[in-house]
Amino acid sequence: MMRPLALAVMAALAQAQFASRVDLVEVYATTATSRDDRAVLDLTASEFEVLEDGRPQRVEVFAAGDFPLAVALALDRSFSMAGARLAMAKSAGHVFLGALRPEDRAMLVAIGSRVETLAPLSAERSAQHGTLTGITAWGTTSLHDAVIEAIGAVQPAHGRRALVLLSDGDDRYSDHPAEAVLARARAADVLIYPVAFGDAMPRLFTELAQLTGGRAFHVRRADALAPALASIAEELRGQYLLGYVPDRASLTGPRGWRAIEVRVTRPGVSVRARTGYIGGTER
C-alpha cells in the first residue's frame, strides 16, 4: 500500500507542482545510452536504484517526462567577452530561450563588475529575448558571486530548478572563493549547466555539474555553442523524478552531507543525478 505521504506527493505531481518537503528527497535523473549519448525515455521505476550513504532507499515517487522548469540563464558580459564572444553567447542564449516550453519560466542574470538580474523569473519570452539582445559588454567577471546569486534567485521556485552559465570561466574580483560556490550548490537543489568557451574548462565548472547532476560543456568553436545550449534544453525536457523518504537517522541526526547514488539496472544506460544533500538537524 502506498503511504499517505506518497499519495500526497502524487497528487501534487498530477497538478504539475513540485515542492520540496521536509521528509521527501527529490532527485532528478538524466539518462543516456553509453554508445551514442542519446536520452533513454522509457525506463520504469523498477530499473532505478537509489542509495543514501550506501543504504538502499525505497523509491516512493516516480515520474517521467516534462516537469515544471525554472531556469536562470547567467551570461558573462564582462570586457573579456566583448566582441565576437559576447555576440556568440547572446545568439546561443536566444536559441536556449526559444527551445523552452511556453510554460517554462526563465530569468536573465548578467555577470560583470556587478551581478544584475536583468529579467525576473517569468514565462514572458518576448521580453526576455529583447533584454538579451540589449546586453552590452561591461565590467570585470565576478563569476563566483554570480553563481551564488543566481542559485539563490532560482532556488525558491517550484519544480525543477536549473542554472545555465555562459562564461569564459575566468573569475575576477569576486567577494567569494570557489569553495563558497560549491558550498552554496551543495545546500541548494539546482541543476547547474556551465558552458565555458575560453581556452580551458575551469575545474569549478566540472565540479558544479557533477555535484548537482547537470553537465559541463567546453566549447572551442563558435558554431558549437548554440547546439550545446539546444542540447541542454532538450535534456531538461527528458528527465526522471525520483522521490524517497530517508530513514530517521538521516532526518534527525546531526546536520551534514548525505551522499546520494542513483543507478540504472538496464545494460548500456548511464545516469546522472545530484550527488547528495544537506540533511539532519542542527545540534
pTM for the structure as a whole: 0.89
Quick one: pLDDT band at residue 22, thresholds 50, 70, 90?
A: low
Mean pLDDT score across all residues of the chain? 88
pLDDT average, residue stretch 246-259: 84
pLDDT at 12 over 80: no
Quick one: pLDDT band at residue 283, thresholds 50, 70, 90?
A: low
Percent of the chain with pLDDT over 90: 71
Q: Is 207 exposed, middle or buried (0-12, 13-18, 19+ CB in 10 A)?
A: middle
pLDDT in tens, 72-112: 999 999 998 899 889 999 999 999 999 999 999 999 999 98
pLDDT in tens, 41-56: 999 999 999 999 999 9
Among 166, 190, 191, 198, smallest CA distance to 94 is for 166
Quick one: pLDDT band at residue 137, thresholds 50, 70, 90?
A: very high
pLDDT of amino acid 3: 43
pLDDT at 149 over 90: yes
Distance CA 181, CA 58 (A): 31
Contact call for residues 65 and 100 (beta carbons, < 8 A)? no
pLDDT in tens, 198-226: 788 999 999 999 999 999 999 988 889 99
- The residue written with cell numbers 539563490 in the block is 152
C-alpha 219, offset from chain centre: 19
pLDDT of amino acid 240: 96
pLDDT at 30 over 50: yes
Helix 178-187 and helix 143-154, axial crossing angle in degrees, nearest 10: 10
Contact call for residues 193 and 164 (beta carbons, < 8 A)? yes
Q: Which of 67-76, 106-115, 274-283 has the lowest mean pLDDT?
A: 274-283
> Strand order in 48-52's β-sheet?
55-57, 48-52, 256-264, 276-279
* List of domains in the chain: 21-66+248-279 (no CATH), 69-236 (3.40.50.410)
pLDDT in tens, 220-252: 888 899 999 999 999 998 899 999 999 877 777
Q: What is the largest CA-CA distance in the chain?
A: 61
Q: Is the model more confident about 98 or about 20?
A: 98
